[in-house]
């Protein structure tokens, strides 16, 4: 019988150590592993024998969370890296060569945008950005040399949704070899499973909900075993070297054990906050996939199992007053990142998305007055009270 989500998030990848039998995973704080003989060392390097060699190629702590993520995403194999950007660069350096084309949605985390537009393009990769919420744009922009299709859903920071099943089927009908890559950071596999909807690779900034406690930078990817092995043995080993430390991997494993219950509370709090903001006349617009006013609310119900912990909104106020509102908050913490126990609030145009030019922001429909809130795990009434007091001051 296939175990349920909660059981898998706790038990998958448990490391058995006969004779010691620790319940929690020990931290394998080692850079290298001893071989019994030169013959064994040679066999490990040639792949004839399975086993650990050197932590850049694998370590029990990083392998454990890779296995856990794969079990939760419904993927064959997963891997961990030192950051979300480490995961994105590792996967794309494994996929793309000079002369290849990458088609990506136009609303991306700021550093992903920068890697695509300022990084990959330096090395002869052609990049096209388009609004994937209109599927016709995806059809139109696919080319003979398209090797990867990349998007987030919901998008950071404007919470636009993209129909994963539709994009994957159009891309694969164009060319079955195209890698459809979905950044699932905002949802986690508890709320959305892109591989089950036809995507080839799923990426995470594990810094966020997977860890959940704001004390680690980490990234992960999952997909078909052959491709993820190539990402480990080429992309990570030779191209990026974005290796996660054993202690960081241990913390992610610890965080993932409570993923489902944390996500449920994040979703509940975000819904209460979104509804409150929508009811306040000082708020011009609220973007939350769980609101009926979200233009893709039906798609949210179809492809997500909950609406997530992120809420974006604009005020009926000047830029100065919007800044005054954010600065005046007491419980909501002014900080980038997301998915932590604490409610975090930030201004994307000058912070997480400052890599975009004003023109690119407009093109991607990311308003310069947008405020992004990551609902924490506090009592919703306390967060709402803090927002209410802030709104009274403007
Ligand atoms: N993908 C998404 C959707 C992200 O939001 C981030 C970081 C990354 C990838 C990169 O992950 P990292 O290397 O930071 O682990 N997003 C951030 C944000 O919105 N605020 O601060 C970081």
Dist. CA 96–CA 124, nearest whole Å: 10
Dist. CA 213–CA 387, nearest whole Å: 23
Band of pLDDT at residue 49, cut at 50, 70 and 90: very high
56 carries an active-site annotation: yes
Residue 157, preceding peptide bond in cis (omega within 30° of 0) = yes
* Digit-coded pLDDT (tens) for 195-233: 999 999 999 999 999 999 999 999 999 999 999 999 999
Band of pLDDT at residue 284, cut at 50, 70 and 90: very high
Band of pLDDT at residue 241, cut at 50, 70 and 90: very high
3-state secondary structure of 219: strand
Q: Which of 355, 389, 323, 374 lies closest to 154 in space, CA to CA?
A: 374
Its pTM surpasses 0.75: yes
Band of pLDDT at residue 352, cut at 50, 70 and 90: very high
**The pLDDT value given to residue 159:** 98
- What lies within 8 Å, CB to CB, of 148 at 6+ separation is 92, 95, 96, 100, 102, 103, 178, 179, 180, 181
- Mutation to probe ligand 1, out of 111, 204, 370 (largest number of atoms < 8 A from CB): 111
Dist. CA 339–CA 178, nearest whole Å: 31
**The pLDDT value given to residue 148:** 99
Q: Which of 314, 321, 292 lies closest to 365 in space, CA to CA?
A: 314
Catalytic residue chosen out of the listed positions 44, 68, 109, 356: 109
Which helix or strand (DSSP H or E) is residue 92 part of?
A: helix 84-95
Nearest CA to ligand 1 atom 11: 84
8 carries an active-site annotation: no
Band of pLDDT at residue 289, cut at 50, 70 and 90: very high
- For residue 269 and ligand 1, the question of a CB distance below 6 A is answered with no
Question: Residue for token digits 């890559």?
Answer: 181
- DSSP strand E in 289-340: where? 310-315, 333-334
**The pLDDT value given to residue 325:** 97
Band of pLDDT at residue 173, cut at 50, 70 and 90: very high
Catalytic residue chosen out of the listed positions 8, 68, 160, 208: 208
Dist. CA 125–CA 277, nearest whole Å: 42
- Mutation to probe ligand 1, out of 80, 84, 119, 311 (largest number of atoms < 8 A from CB): 84
- For residue 83 and ligand 1, the question of a CB distance below 6 A is answered with yes
**The pLDDT value given to residue 84:** 98
Contact 291, 310 (CB under 8 A): no
Catalytic residue chosen out of the listed positions 106, 183, 200, 386: 183
Band of pLDDT at residue 248, cut at 50, 70 and 90: very high
Dist. CA 176–CA 25, nearest whole Å: 39
Query: Average pLDDT of the chain?
Result: 98
Dist. CA 360–CA 365, nearest whole Å: 8
* Digit-coded pLDDT (tens) for 101-160: 999 999 999 999 999 999 999 999 999 999 999 999 999 999 999 999 999 999 999 999
**The pLDDT value given to residue 135:** 97
**The pLDDT value given to residue 55:** 98
Band of pLDDT at residue 21, cut at 50, 70 and 90: very high
């Amino acid at each position: 019988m296939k175990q349920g989500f909660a059981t898998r998030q706790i038990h998958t990848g448990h490391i058995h150590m006969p004779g010691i039998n620790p319940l929690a995973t020990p931290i394998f704080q080692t850079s290298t592993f001893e071989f019994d003989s030169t013959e064994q060392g040679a066999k490990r390097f040639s792949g004839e024998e399975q086993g650990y060699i050197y932590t850049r190629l694998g370590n029990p702590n990083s392998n454990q969370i890779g296995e856990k993520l794969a079990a939760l995403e419904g993927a064959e194999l997963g891997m961990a890296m030192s950051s979300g950007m480490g995961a994105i660069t590792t996967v794309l350096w494994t996929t793309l060569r000079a002369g290849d084309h990458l088609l990506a949605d136009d609303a991306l985390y700021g550093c992903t945008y920068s890697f695509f537009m300022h990084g990959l393009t330096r090395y002869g990769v052609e990049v096209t950005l388009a609004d994937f919420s209109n599927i016709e744009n995806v059809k139109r922009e696919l080319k003979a040399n398209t090797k990867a299709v990349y998007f987030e859903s919901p998008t950071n920071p404007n919470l636009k949704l993209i129909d994963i099943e539709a994009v994957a089927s159009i891309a694969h009908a164009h060319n079955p070899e195209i890698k459809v890559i979905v950044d699932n950071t905002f949802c986690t596999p508890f709320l959305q499973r892109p591989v089950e909807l036809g995507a080839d690779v799923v990426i995470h900034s594990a810094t966020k909900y997977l860890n959940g406690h704001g004390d680690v930078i980490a990234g992960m990817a999952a997909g078909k075993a052959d491709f993820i092995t190539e990402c480990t043995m080429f992309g990570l080993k030779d191209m990026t070297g974005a290796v996660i430390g054993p202690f960081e991997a241990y913390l992610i494993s610890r965080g993932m054990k409570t993923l489902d219950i944390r996500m449920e509370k994040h979703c509940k709090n975000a819904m209460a906050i979104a509804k409150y903001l929508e009811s306040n006349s000082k708020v011009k617009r609220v973007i939350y996939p769980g609101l009926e006013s979200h233009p893709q609310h039906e798609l949210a119900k179809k492809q997500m199992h909950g609406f997530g912990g992120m809420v974006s909104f604009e005020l009926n106020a000047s830029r100065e007053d919007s800044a005054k509102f954010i600065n005046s908050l007491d419980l909501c913490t002014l900080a980038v990142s997301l998915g932590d126990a604490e409610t975090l609030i930030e201004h994307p145009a000058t912070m997480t998305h400052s890599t975009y030019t004003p023109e690119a922001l407009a093109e991607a429909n990311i308003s310069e007055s947008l405020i992004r809130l990551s609902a924490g795990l506090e009592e919703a009434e306390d967060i709402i009270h803090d927002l209410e007091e802030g709104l009274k001051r403007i």
